Structure 1
Amino acid sequence: MLSRLFASGFALLLLPAAALAAERPVVVELFTSEGCSSCPPADAYLTDLSHAGRDVLPLAFHVTYWNGLGWRDPFSLDAATQRQARYGSRFGDGSYTPEMVVDGAHGFVGSERGAVGAAIREARQNRTAASVSVSRQDGQISIAVGAGSGTGRLLLIGFDTEHRTAVGRGENTGRTLTESNIVRSIRPVGQWSGAPVTLNAALPVGQDVAVILEAPDGRIVGATRLGDAS
Protein backbone atom coordinates (compact mmCIF):
# COMPACT_ATOMS: atom_id res chain seq x y z
CA MET A 1 0.00 0.00 0.00
CA LEU A 2 1.47 3.36 -1.05
CA SER A 3 0.75 6.22 1.31
CA ARG A 4 0.80 9.75 -0.07
CA LEU A 5 1.04 12.98 1.87
CA PHE A 6 1.14 16.05 -0.34
CA ALA A 7 3.21 19.00 0.81
CA SER A 8 3.33 22.70 -0.02
CA GLY A 9 5.85 24.20 -2.43
CA PHE A 10 9.17 25.78 -1.50
CA ALA A 11 11.65 28.13 -3.14
CA LEU A 12 14.04 26.39 -5.52
CA LEU A 13 17.46 27.96 -6.12
CA LEU A 14 20.14 26.96 -8.58
CA LEU A 15 23.74 26.06 -7.78
CA PRO A 16 26.69 26.61 -10.13
CA ALA A 17 28.49 23.36 -11.00
CA ALA A 18 30.75 22.26 -8.14
CA ALA A 19 34.41 21.55 -8.77
CA LEU A 20 35.17 17.97 -9.63
CA ALA A 21 36.99 16.18 -6.83
CA ALA A 22 37.84 12.64 -5.84
CA GLU A 23 34.91 10.32 -6.43
CA ARG A 24 32.30 10.47 -3.73
CA PRO A 25 29.54 8.01 -2.94
CA VAL A 26 26.18 8.33 -4.64
CA VAL A 27 23.65 9.06 -1.89
CA VAL A 28 20.48 6.93 -1.91
CA GLU A 29 17.80 7.97 0.57
CA LEU A 30 14.97 5.56 1.32
CA PHE A 31 11.83 6.98 2.91
CA THR A 32 10.18 4.06 4.64
CA SER A 33 8.13 2.92 7.63
CA GLU A 34 7.73 -0.30 9.59
CA GLY A 35 3.97 0.30 9.34
CA CYS A 36 3.96 0.01 5.54
CA SER A 37 3.48 -3.43 3.97
CA SER A 38 5.01 -2.26 0.68
CA CYS A 39 8.25 -1.20 2.36
CA PRO A 40 10.07 -4.47 3.22
CA PRO A 41 11.18 -5.12 -0.41
CA ALA A 42 12.65 -1.60 -0.54
CA ASP A 43 14.27 -2.11 2.87
CA ALA A 44 15.84 -5.32 1.52
CA TYR A 45 17.16 -3.45 -1.52
CA LEU A 46 18.71 -0.80 0.72
CA THR A 47 20.36 -3.58 2.73
CA ASP A 48 21.80 -5.01 -0.47
CA LEU A 49 23.14 -1.56 -1.40
CA SER A 50 24.72 -1.21 2.05
CA HIS A 51 26.71 -4.41 1.40
CA ALA A 52 27.61 -3.63 -2.21
CA GLY A 53 30.53 -1.25 -1.68
CA ARG A 54 31.45 2.22 -0.48
CA ASP A 55 30.63 4.04 -3.72
CA VAL A 56 26.98 4.19 -2.66
CA LEU A 57 25.85 5.73 0.63
CA PRO A 58 22.38 4.27 1.37
CA LEU A 59 20.40 5.85 4.20
CA ALA A 60 16.95 4.85 5.51
CA PHE A 61 14.77 7.72 6.71
CA HIS A 62 11.81 6.41 8.70
CA VAL A 63 8.83 8.76 8.38
CA THR A 64 6.17 9.47 10.99
CA TYR A 65 2.92 9.58 9.01
CA TRP A 66 2.31 5.84 9.40
CA ASN A 67 2.55 5.96 13.19
CA GLY A 68 -1.17 6.44 13.76
CA LEU A 69 -2.16 3.49 11.58
CA GLY A 70 -1.54 0.57 13.92
CA TRP A 71 2.22 0.52 14.55
CA ARG A 72 4.52 3.24 15.82
CA ASP A 73 7.86 2.91 14.07
CA PRO A 74 10.52 3.21 16.81
CA PHE A 75 12.97 4.77 14.34
CA SER A 76 10.62 7.38 12.90
CA LEU A 77 11.79 10.98 12.90
CA ASP A 78 9.94 14.24 12.29
CA ALA A 79 13.06 15.37 10.43
CA ALA A 80 12.67 12.45 8.01
CA THR A 81 9.05 13.38 7.29
CA GLN A 82 10.03 17.01 6.73
CA ARG A 83 12.92 16.07 4.46
CA GLN A 84 10.69 13.92 2.28
CA ALA A 85 8.05 16.66 2.14
CA ARG A 86 10.64 19.02 0.66
CA TYR A 87 11.51 16.44 -1.99
CA GLY A 88 7.80 15.91 -2.68
CA SER A 89 7.34 19.62 -3.29
CA ARG A 90 10.27 19.67 -5.71
CA PHE A 91 9.33 16.52 -7.58
CA GLY A 92 5.60 17.24 -7.56
CA ASP A 93 4.64 13.79 -6.29
CA GLY A 94 3.98 14.45 -2.60
CA SER A 95 5.24 12.00 0.01
CA TYR A 96 4.79 8.24 -0.19
CA THR A 97 6.43 5.05 1.00
CA PRO A 98 8.62 3.44 -0.09
CA GLU A 99 10.44 6.18 -1.98
CA MET A 100 14.12 6.25 -2.93
CA VAL A 101 15.79 9.54 -3.84
CA VAL A 102 19.10 9.34 -5.71
CA ASP A 103 21.61 12.15 -5.07
CA GLY A 104 18.79 14.50 -4.13
CA ALA A 105 17.82 14.73 -7.81
CA HIS A 106 15.24 12.05 -8.67
CA GLY A 107 12.64 10.04 -6.75
CA PHE A 108 11.50 6.48 -7.48
CA VAL A 109 9.32 3.80 -5.93
CA GLY A 110 11.89 2.23 -3.63
CA SER A 111 11.21 -1.38 -4.61
CA GLU A 112 11.79 -0.71 -8.33
CA ARG A 113 15.38 -1.97 -8.44
CA GLY A 114 15.76 -1.50 -12.17
CA ALA A 115 14.83 2.18 -12.15
CA VAL A 116 16.83 2.99 -9.01
CA GLY A 117 19.84 0.99 -10.25
CA ALA A 118 19.82 2.88 -13.55
CA ALA A 119 19.68 6.20 -11.70
CA ILE A 120 22.63 5.16 -9.52
CA ARG A 121 24.66 4.22 -12.61
CA GLU A 122 23.82 7.54 -14.25
CA ALA A 123 24.74 9.42 -11.07
CA ARG A 124 28.12 7.66 -10.99
CA GLN A 125 28.83 8.89 -14.51
CA ASN A 126 27.66 12.47 -14.00
CA ARG A 127 28.34 13.30 -10.37
CA THR A 128 30.07 16.52 -9.47
CA ALA A 129 31.65 16.90 -6.09
CA ALA A 130 33.24 19.11 -3.55
CA SER A 131 35.82 17.24 -1.50
CA VAL A 132 34.36 16.35 1.91
CA SER A 133 36.10 14.45 4.72
CA VAL A 134 35.05 13.57 8.25
CA SER A 135 36.99 12.22 11.22
CA ARG A 136 36.51 11.64 14.92
CA GLN A 137 38.71 13.77 17.16
CA ASP A 138 38.59 14.15 20.93
CA GLY A 139 35.00 12.97 21.17
CA GLN A 140 33.83 15.28 18.39
CA ILE A 141 33.38 15.10 14.64
CA SER A 142 35.70 17.15 12.47
CA ILE A 143 34.46 18.01 8.97
CA ALA A 144 36.56 19.51 6.18
CA VAL A 145 35.34 20.72 2.78
CA GLY A 146 37.74 21.69 0.01
CA ALA A 147 37.60 24.57 -2.43
CA GLY A 148 35.07 24.53 -5.23
CA SER A 149 32.39 26.48 -7.05
CA GLY A 150 28.95 26.98 -5.57
CA THR A 151 27.30 27.03 -2.17
CA GLY A 152 25.68 24.48 0.09
CA ARG A 153 24.87 23.42 3.60
CA LEU A 154 26.49 20.61 5.54
CA LEU A 155 24.25 17.98 7.10
CA LEU A 156 25.57 15.73 9.86
CA ILE A 157 23.81 12.37 9.99
CA GLY A 158 23.99 9.62 12.58
CA PHE A 159 22.78 6.17 11.59
CA ASP A 160 22.62 2.60 12.89
CA THR A 161 24.00 -0.09 10.63
CA GLU A 162 21.30 -2.72 11.27
CA HIS A 163 18.28 -3.52 13.43
CA ARG A 164 15.85 -6.41 13.57
CA THR A 165 12.35 -5.55 14.76
CA ALA A 166 9.44 -7.85 15.55
CA VAL A 167 6.35 -5.95 14.46
CA GLY A 168 3.33 -6.54 16.66
CA ARG A 169 0.61 -4.49 14.97
CA GLY A 170 -0.30 -2.78 11.72
CA GLU A 171 0.23 -3.93 8.14
CA ASN A 172 3.39 -5.90 9.00
CA THR A 173 1.96 -7.72 12.01
CA GLY A 174 3.93 -10.87 12.80
CA ARG A 175 6.89 -10.02 10.59
CA THR A 176 10.45 -9.57 11.80
CA LEU A 177 12.01 -6.79 9.76
CA THR A 178 15.73 -6.46 9.10
CA GLU A 179 16.62 -2.87 8.25
CA SER A 180 19.95 -1.23 7.47
CA ASN A 181 21.57 2.20 7.74
CA ILE A 182 18.68 3.62 9.75
CA VAL A 183 19.02 7.37 10.24
CA ARG A 184 18.76 8.28 13.93
CA SER A 185 19.60 11.97 13.67
CA ILE A 186 20.14 14.65 11.05
CA ARG A 187 21.08 18.27 11.60
CA PRO A 188 22.67 21.15 9.67
CA VAL A 189 26.10 22.05 11.03
CA GLY A 190 27.42 24.74 8.71
CA GLN A 191 27.50 26.44 5.34
CA TRP A 192 29.96 26.18 2.47
CA SER A 193 30.45 29.03 -0.01
CA GLY A 194 33.22 27.65 -2.22
CA ALA A 195 36.19 28.38 0.06
CA PRO A 196 37.79 25.61 2.12
CA VAL A 197 36.15 25.22 5.51
CA THR A 198 36.79 23.08 8.58
CA LEU A 199 34.41 22.79 11.49
CA ASN A 200 33.80 20.65 14.55
CA ALA A 201 30.49 19.29 15.79
CA ALA A 202 29.22 17.10 18.59
CA LEU A 203 28.86 13.42 17.81
CA PRO A 204 25.41 12.67 16.41
CA VAL A 205 23.06 10.01 17.73
CA GLY A 206 23.78 6.75 15.92
CA GLN A 207 26.42 4.06 15.49
CA ASP A 208 28.00 5.54 12.36
CA VAL A 209 28.37 9.01 10.87
CA ALA A 210 27.78 10.49 7.43
CA VAL A 211 28.12 14.02 6.10
CA ILE A 212 26.19 15.37 3.12
CA LEU A 213 26.83 18.63 1.31
CA GLU A 214 23.51 19.77 -0.11
CA ALA A 215 23.11 22.48 -2.73
CA PRO A 216 20.40 25.13 -2.28
CA ASP A 217 18.20 23.26 -4.79
CA GLY A 218 18.43 20.05 -2.73
CA ARG A 219 20.85 18.20 -4.99
CA ILE A 220 23.77 16.51 -3.27
CA VAL A 221 27.22 17.72 -4.34
CA GLY A 222 29.37 16.13 -1.65
CA ALA A 223 29.15 13.18 0.71
CA THR A 224 31.23 10.92 2.87
CA ARG A 225 30.99 8.66 5.89
CA LEU A 226 33.28 8.16 8.84
CA GLY A 227 36.39 6.32 7.66
CA ASP A 228 35.92 7.13 3.96
CA ALA A 229 38.40 9.24 2.03
CA SER A 230 36.62 11.55 -0.36
Structure 2
Amino acid sequence: MSDFSDPRIVAGYAERPVRQVPGFHGLQRMAGLLIAERVPDDAHVLVLGAGGGLELKAFAEMQPGWRFCGVDPSAEMLALAGRTLGPLAPRASLHHGYIDSAPAGPFDAATCILTLHFLPEEERRRTLAQVHERLRPGAPFVVAHHSVPQRDEAEKAKWLARYAAFAIASGVPISDAKSAIADISKRLPLLSPEQDEAMLREAGFNGVELFYAGFTFRGWVGYKG
Protein backbone atom coordinates (compact mmCIF):
# COMPACT_ATOMS: atom_id res chain seq x y z
CA MET A 1 0.00 0.00 0.00
CA SER A 2 0.98 3.68 0.24
CA ASP A 3 4.44 4.61 1.43
CA PHE A 4 3.60 7.13 4.14
CA SER A 5 7.14 8.50 4.09
CA ASP A 6 6.76 9.64 0.46
CA PRO A 7 6.41 13.47 0.53
CA ARG A 8 3.90 13.43 -2.35
CA ILE A 9 1.68 10.92 -0.56
CA VAL A 10 1.95 12.82 2.72
CA ALA A 11 1.10 16.11 1.00
CA GLY A 12 -2.06 14.68 -0.57
CA TYR A 13 -3.16 12.55 2.36
CA ALA A 14 -6.08 14.68 3.56
CA GLU A 15 -7.93 14.24 0.25
CA ARG A 16 -7.72 10.46 0.02
CA PRO A 17 -9.90 9.19 2.88
CA VAL A 18 -12.82 11.37 1.80
CA ARG A 19 -12.64 9.90 -1.71
CA GLN A 20 -12.05 6.31 -0.68
CA VAL A 21 -13.96 5.80 2.58
CA PRO A 22 -17.76 6.14 2.39
CA GLY A 23 -18.98 8.64 4.97
CA PHE A 24 -15.49 9.40 6.24
CA HIS A 25 -16.40 12.55 8.16
CA GLY A 26 -19.47 10.84 9.60
CA LEU A 27 -17.26 7.95 10.72
CA GLN A 28 -15.07 10.37 12.65
CA ARG A 29 -18.07 12.03 14.30
CA MET A 30 -19.58 8.67 15.25
CA ALA A 31 -16.28 7.57 16.77
CA GLY A 32 -16.14 10.73 18.85
CA LEU A 33 -19.74 10.31 20.01
CA LEU A 34 -19.16 6.68 21.02
CA ILE A 35 -16.18 7.72 23.10
CA ALA A 36 -18.10 10.61 24.68
CA GLU A 37 -20.74 8.17 25.99
CA ARG A 38 -18.29 6.70 28.48
CA VAL A 39 -15.54 9.21 29.30
CA PRO A 40 -15.14 12.33 31.47
CA ASP A 41 -14.96 15.83 30.02
CA ASP A 42 -11.18 15.84 30.52
CA ALA A 43 -10.58 12.40 28.97
CA HIS A 44 -7.15 11.29 27.84
CA VAL A 45 -7.54 9.42 24.54
CA LEU A 46 -5.02 7.14 22.81
CA VAL A 47 -5.12 7.48 19.01
CA LEU A 48 -3.22 4.68 17.29
CA GLY A 49 -2.34 5.46 13.68
CA ALA A 50 -2.60 9.19 14.32
CA GLY A 51 -0.49 10.29 11.34
CA GLY A 52 -2.08 13.04 9.31
CA GLY A 53 -4.01 14.25 12.34
CA LEU A 54 -7.49 14.08 10.80
CA GLU A 55 -9.20 12.27 13.66
CA LEU A 56 -7.14 14.11 16.25
CA LYS A 57 -8.44 17.40 14.89
CA ALA A 58 -12.01 16.12 14.58
CA PHE A 59 -12.04 14.86 18.18
CA ALA A 60 -10.35 17.98 19.54
CA GLU A 61 -12.92 20.22 17.88
CA MET A 62 -15.79 18.06 19.19
CA GLN A 63 -14.53 17.95 22.79
CA PRO A 64 -12.52 20.96 24.01
CA GLY A 65 -11.53 19.25 27.27
CA TRP A 66 -10.02 16.06 25.83
CA ARG A 67 -6.27 15.45 25.63
CA PHE A 68 -4.67 13.05 23.20
CA CYS A 69 -1.73 10.71 22.78
CA GLY A 70 -1.11 10.04 19.09
CA VAL A 71 1.11 7.21 17.82
CA ASP A 72 2.24 6.55 14.25
CA PRO A 73 5.21 4.77 12.59
CA SER A 74 5.74 7.56 10.02
CA ALA A 75 7.64 10.63 11.22
CA GLU A 76 6.48 12.51 8.12
CA MET A 77 2.83 11.75 8.88
CA LEU A 78 3.27 12.81 12.51
CA ALA A 79 4.71 16.11 11.33
CA LEU A 80 1.62 16.51 9.13
CA ALA A 81 -0.55 15.77 12.17
CA GLY A 82 1.08 18.64 14.02
CA ARG A 83 0.40 20.98 11.10
CA THR A 84 -3.18 19.72 10.77
CA LEU A 85 -3.84 20.39 14.46
CA GLY A 86 -2.44 23.90 14.28
CA PRO A 87 -3.46 25.80 17.44
CA LEU A 88 -4.92 22.58 18.87
CA ALA A 89 -1.49 20.89 18.86
CA PRO A 90 -0.67 21.56 22.55
CA ARG A 91 -3.47 19.16 23.52
CA ALA A 92 -1.77 16.22 21.79
CA SER A 93 1.49 14.43 22.51
CA LEU A 94 2.78 12.65 19.40
CA HIS A 95 4.90 9.50 19.56
CA HIS A 96 6.86 7.99 16.67
CA GLY A 97 6.49 4.20 16.50
CA TYR A 98 3.97 1.44 17.03
CA ILE A 99 1.83 0.53 20.03
CA ASP A 100 4.96 -0.23 22.08
CA SER A 101 5.88 3.45 21.78
CA ALA A 102 2.66 4.52 23.52
CA PRO A 103 2.79 5.38 27.22
CA ALA A 104 1.38 2.81 29.62
CA GLY A 105 -1.67 4.93 30.40
CA PRO A 106 -4.19 4.15 31.68
CA PHE A 107 -6.22 5.95 28.99
CA ASP A 108 -9.91 6.74 29.15
CA ALA A 109 -10.46 5.60 25.55
CA ALA A 110 -8.63 4.57 22.40
CA THR A 111 -9.18 4.62 18.64
CA CYS A 112 -7.53 2.94 15.69
CA ILE A 113 -9.05 4.20 12.45
CA LEU A 114 -7.94 3.01 8.98
CA THR A 115 -4.84 1.36 10.42
CA LEU A 116 -5.31 -2.24 11.57
CA HIS A 117 -5.76 -3.57 8.03
CA PHE A 118 -2.04 -2.96 7.44
CA LEU A 119 -1.01 -5.39 10.19
CA PRO A 120 -0.50 -9.15 9.74
CA GLU A 121 -2.85 -11.26 11.82
CA GLU A 122 -0.46 -12.06 14.67
CA GLU A 123 0.78 -8.47 14.91
CA ARG A 124 -2.85 -7.34 14.94
CA ARG A 125 -3.56 -9.66 17.87
CA ARG A 126 -0.57 -8.32 19.77
CA THR A 127 -1.54 -4.71 19.05
CA LEU A 128 -5.10 -5.21 20.26
CA ALA A 129 -3.83 -6.84 23.45
CA GLN A 130 -1.44 -3.93 24.03
CA VAL A 131 -4.22 -1.37 23.53
CA HIS A 132 -6.41 -3.30 25.98
CA GLU A 133 -3.61 -3.25 28.54
CA ARG A 134 -3.34 0.55 28.33
CA LEU A 135 -7.04 1.29 28.98
CA ARG A 136 -9.00 1.88 32.16
CA PRO A 137 -11.66 -0.74 33.00
CA GLY A 138 -14.76 -0.11 30.93
CA ALA A 139 -12.96 2.25 28.54
CA PRO A 140 -14.27 2.33 24.95
CA PHE A 141 -12.11 1.30 22.00
CA VAL A 142 -13.21 2.31 18.49
CA VAL A 143 -11.73 0.63 15.41
CA ALA A 144 -12.50 0.97 11.71
CA HIS A 145 -10.67 -0.48 8.72
CA HIS A 146 -10.97 -2.69 5.64
CA SER A 147 -12.86 -5.84 6.67
CA VAL A 148 -14.05 -7.80 3.67
CA PRO A 149 -16.57 -10.65 3.39
CA GLN A 150 -14.58 -13.41 1.69
CA ARG A 151 -16.20 -16.82 1.80
CA ASP A 152 -14.58 -17.23 -1.60
CA GLU A 153 -12.51 -15.17 -4.02
CA ALA A 154 -15.58 -14.13 -6.01
CA GLU A 155 -17.20 -12.53 -2.97
CA LYS A 156 -13.98 -10.74 -2.03
CA ALA A 157 -13.59 -9.46 -5.61
CA LYS A 158 -17.18 -8.19 -5.62
CA TRP A 159 -16.65 -6.06 -2.52
CA LEU A 160 -13.32 -4.72 -3.71
CA ALA A 161 -14.95 -3.73 -7.00
CA ARG A 162 -17.54 -1.78 -5.01
CA TYR A 163 -14.76 -0.04 -3.09
CA ALA A 164 -13.18 0.97 -6.41
CA ALA A 165 -16.51 2.13 -7.83
CA PHE A 166 -17.00 4.46 -4.86
CA ALA A 167 -13.51 5.88 -5.28
CA ILE A 168 -14.06 6.47 -9.00
CA ALA A 169 -17.42 8.13 -8.33
CA SER A 170 -15.62 10.38 -5.82
CA GLY A 171 -13.07 11.55 -8.38
CA VAL A 172 -10.25 9.02 -8.12
CA PRO A 173 -8.85 8.19 -11.59
CA ILE A 174 -10.01 4.81 -12.86
CA SER A 175 -6.44 3.55 -13.26
CA ASP A 176 -5.60 4.49 -9.66
CA ALA A 177 -8.72 2.78 -8.31
CA LYS A 178 -8.00 -0.43 -10.21
CA SER A 179 -4.40 -0.34 -9.06
CA ALA A 180 -5.61 0.03 -5.48
CA ILE A 181 -7.70 -3.15 -5.80
CA ALA A 182 -4.64 -5.11 -6.92
CA ASP A 183 -2.54 -3.59 -4.15
CA ILE A 184 -5.12 -4.40 -1.47
CA SER A 185 -5.54 -7.96 -2.69
CA LYS A 186 -1.82 -8.67 -2.76
CA ARG A 187 -0.44 -6.71 0.16
CA LEU A 188 -3.10 -6.24 2.83
CA PRO A 189 -3.73 -9.12 5.26
CA LEU A 190 -7.50 -8.64 5.09
CA LEU A 191 -9.78 -10.40 7.55
CA SER A 192 -13.51 -10.99 7.37
CA PRO A 193 -15.90 -9.08 9.66
CA GLU A 194 -16.44 -12.26 11.67
CA GLN A 195 -12.69 -12.69 12.19
CA ASP A 196 -12.27 -9.04 13.18
CA GLU A 197 -15.03 -9.22 15.78
CA ALA A 198 -13.64 -12.46 17.20
CA MET A 199 -10.18 -10.93 17.49
CA LEU A 200 -11.51 -7.97 19.47
CA ARG A 201 -13.23 -10.33 21.91
CA GLU A 202 -10.11 -12.49 22.21
CA ALA A 203 -8.15 -9.37 23.18
CA GLY A 204 -10.53 -8.85 26.11
CA PHE A 205 -13.05 -6.36 24.76
CA ASN A 206 -16.67 -6.81 25.82
CA GLY A 207 -19.90 -5.57 24.28
CA VAL A 208 -18.38 -5.48 20.79
CA GLU A 209 -20.85 -3.82 18.39
CA LEU A 210 -20.75 -2.92 14.72
CA PHE A 211 -21.55 0.78 14.31
CA TYR A 212 -20.35 1.51 10.76
CA ALA A 213 -20.28 -0.27 7.41
CA GLY A 214 -19.26 1.25 4.10
CA PHE A 215 -18.57 -1.28 1.33
CA THR A 216 -15.19 -2.82 2.33
CA PHE A 217 -14.91 -0.83 5.55
CA ARG A 218 -16.33 -1.80 8.95
CA GLY A 219 -16.20 -0.10 12.33
CA TRP A 220 -16.71 -1.53 15.83
CA VAL A 221 -16.79 -0.30 19.39
CA GLY A 222 -15.86 -2.49 22.34
CA TYR A 223 -15.10 -1.93 26.01
CA LYS A 224 -12.27 -3.08 28.23
CA GLY A 225 -13.48 -5.96 30.33
Give the TM-score normalised by structure 1.
0.28
* Structure that is richer in strand per residue: 1
Greater RCO between the two (CA within 8 Å, min separation 6)?
Answer: 1
Give the TM-score normalised by structure 2.
0.29
* Structure that is richer in helix per residue: 2
